[in-house]
Structure 1
Amino acid sequence: MTTEPETPPRRTYSYLGPAGTFTEAALAQVPEARGHTWRPVRNVGEALADVVEGRSDAAMIAIENSIDGGVSTAQDALATMPGLRIVGEYLVPVDFVLVARPGTKLEDVSLVAAHPVAYAQCLRWLTENLPAHAHLPAASNVASAVGLLDGTSDADAAISPPGILEHHELELLAEKIGDNPEAVTRFVLVARTTAPPAPTGADKTSLIAELPEDHPGALLEMLEQFATRGINLSLLASRPIGDALGRYRFVIDADGHIEDERMADALLGLRRFSPKVIFLGSYPRADRAIVRYPERYSDDVFVEARDWLRALVSGEPEV
């Protein structure tokens, strides 16, 4: 008698919807999410609450933009919602298209719907190609286009992500209209607290740390925990804690994995220094770039130093 193999349980992934957003494009890069349930939500807080409360297995959220910097709503949510862990990161080029109702031509456009951030990133193209246009602010990059079809927008055209064309019948008036062709947004996949994936040699560790008190050199003392161990920081962003003026927490991305001896040693130093450290995760870098560091910060050096100290304490004769 043969038994059929068990079907793996269906998983649910939350993402900022509706369909066609840059966040959906990031989720499409996750192999294990394909064929499972994708749950569109309205904001980052709802996406993370889905994970914490068990409605979703993981959530994809934007964490950093190469033009606008860190996404403050995401950073603040990760700092204040316990029980979360970053398990992967993904990069999505920030590109925009100009779309309209079927049959519309570029010369027919005088009112453009766009999210204010998207509008600012396309202003040079709009000025050159539609110099007499007016801007109609939209709630999101997708809402700007959907409004053209459902009658809720008076605009003639909309700025949207390219993915919008996969979900709606719209006229493509122009593509690649973003002013910065190198613009990219970094997304992270967030799950409930779990053990980090094994180190790959091309890893990143994300943390949030608070300074113990406001005194000269406090930030330098925190940064020394990494500098003296040869760890490069790829992100350092401050966010107000909110309980008093001048009180900040710092969002940190450090090159390396928690299982690296130098990173583990840095985290121990940071824990001794800071009144609150939130470990967000160690995970493979999206660019898969191997982390390079001087030989004096190799794992063997840290292990040898620890063995040397243990020998001193135990009274072993020096060789």
Structure 2
Amino acid sequence: MRIATLGPAGTFSELAACEYGRQLQHYTLHFYPALARVLKALPDEADCAVVPIENIVEGVVSPVIDSFVKRPLEITAELTIPVRFSLVANHVAPEKIYAQFVAQGQCSECLSRYDVPIMNTASNSEALRLLQQSREPAAAVVPEHSLREHSFAHVESNITDYAHNETRFVVVRTKQQAEPSARRSGVAYKTSLLIIDDTDHPGLLVEHLQVFAAYRVNLTSLVSRPTGQKFGHYHFYIECEGHVADSAIAAALTLIKLRNKVMVLGSYPDSSAT
């Protein structure tokens, strides 16, 4: 199994891809520099992609949500990875700190205690590399799992602003690569779908929410994304409890499809229920 994910090595994406890979008999990782490039690797360069879709602090990962509108992709699995950062330094009094911009935002309370410049990097791995190359007193914000392979003069562990910070990743394939999603007994499922804004009218979203409520379908996520055509026009990314084959979800989608185009992105085991 060829797994595409966001590089370079040492990222939380690699951690997620390896966790998914351990469920398989054999796998190889292929790193790409941007999320768009990761998804573009399907299907010729990779059999599946493992990409972040939501962080408990930062919210949804918009490029991934938007990609579902542009290409016939399917979500086949999800997994949740704890996000923990450490501040590591070559001196107890660093004069600058290297940090990837997302990591900086998630560790702002710790960084605010240091009255030194924050040097933004393209990745957590680059922050670590620049620290290792620095001959001046410096520090870096790095994923906590990096500490297993390196030693530092000064370490502050678990500096993330939110103690229970997590990122949810999804496994994505093209429709041609994905196998039919059969419902397994005793497994809690989640279904992802897109409601495409092709017939905009007043009350559009309310109508759809009322349909889900009428059939007692519990929504776990609702995100509006601009269509890119004009102001006020949005697609809606929705996640709900259950499998698309469940009678309640099937009935709700039948009614919604009378008014708007619906793209079912897949039903897969709910990682929060395991």
TM-score, normalization by structure 2: 0.91
How far does residue 149 in structure 1 lie from its aligned partner after superposition?
3.0
- Relative to total residues, which structure has the larger helix share, 1 or 2? 1
Which runs of 5 or more residues in structure 2 are unaligned?
none
Task: Say which SS state the counterpart of residue 164 (structure 1) adopts.
Answer: helix
The secondary structure found in structure 2 opposite 1:146 is helix
Contact 1:21/1:163 (<8 A) preserved: no
The Cα of 1:270 is off from its aligned counterpart by: 2.1
Alpha-carbon shift at residue 28 of structure 1 (Å): 2.4
245-254 vs 30-39, which moves further: 30-39
Please tell me whether the aligned partners of residues 199 and 259 of structure 2 are also in contact (alpha carbons under 8 angstroms): no
2:239 aligns with 253
RMSD between aligned alpha carbons? Answer: 2.0
Aligned in 2, Cα 1:177/1:159: closer, same or farther, shift over 3 Å?
A: same
Q: Look up the match of 2:29.
A: 38
Percent identity (aligned):
33
Structure 1 residue 188: Cα displacement: 0.2
**How far apart are residue 99 of structure 1 and its match?**
2.3
Aligned partners of 2:97 and 2:116 also within 8 Å: yes
Equivalent residue number for residue 308 of structure 1: none
1:287 aligns with 2:272: yes
1:119 match: 104
Alpha-carbon deviations, 1:146-197, whole Å to 9, x = none?
A: 222356x977111111233355x35261110011102111100112223114
The partner residue of 1:185 within 167, 181, 206 is 167
Which residue number in structure 2 is paired with residue 144 of structure 1?
127
Q: Which residue of 1 aligns with 2:78?
A: 89
**Match of residue 226 from structure 1:** 212
* CA deviation string 1:15-37 (max 9, x = no partner): 11111111111122223346421
C-alpha change, 1:216 and 1:43, in structure 2 (3 Å) is same
Give, in whole Å, the separation in 2 of the partners of 1:98 and 1:203: 38
Question: 1:135 is matched with which residue: 114, 118, 130?
Answer: 118
Supply the AA of the counterpart residue of 2:237.
V
Q: Is residue 206–residue 252 contact of structure 1 (8 Å, CA) maintained in 2? A: yes
- Structure 1 residues 112 and 197, CA, compared in 2 at 3 Å: closer, same or farther? farther
Aligned residues: 268
Matches within 5 A, 1:294-309: none
Q: Could you say which residue in structure 1 is the equivalent of 2:69?
A: 79
Residue 272 of structure 1 aligns to a residue whose secondary structure is: coil
1:115 Cα offset (Å) = 1.5
Higher strand share: 2
User: Given residue 88 of structure 2, which amino acid in structure 1 is its aligned partner?
Assistant: V
Look up the equivalent residue of 2:55 and give its one-letter code. N
Quote the offset at 1:51 in angstroms: 1.6
CA contact (8 A) 1:28 1:34 kept: no
Distance (Å, rounded) in 2 between the aligned partners of 1:33 and 1:255: 26
TM-score w.r.t. length of structure 1: 0.78
Q: CA deviation at 1:138?
A: 1.0
Q: Distance in 1 between matches of 2:165 and 2:145?
A: 16
Partner of 2:78, secondary structure, is: strand
Q: 2:4 aligns with which of 14, 34, 39?
A: 14
Q: Which has the larger radius of gyration?
A: 1
Q: SS of the counterpart of 1:246?
A: coil
The answer to whether 1:51 aligns with 2:39 is no
Deviation for aligned residue 1:98 = 1.4
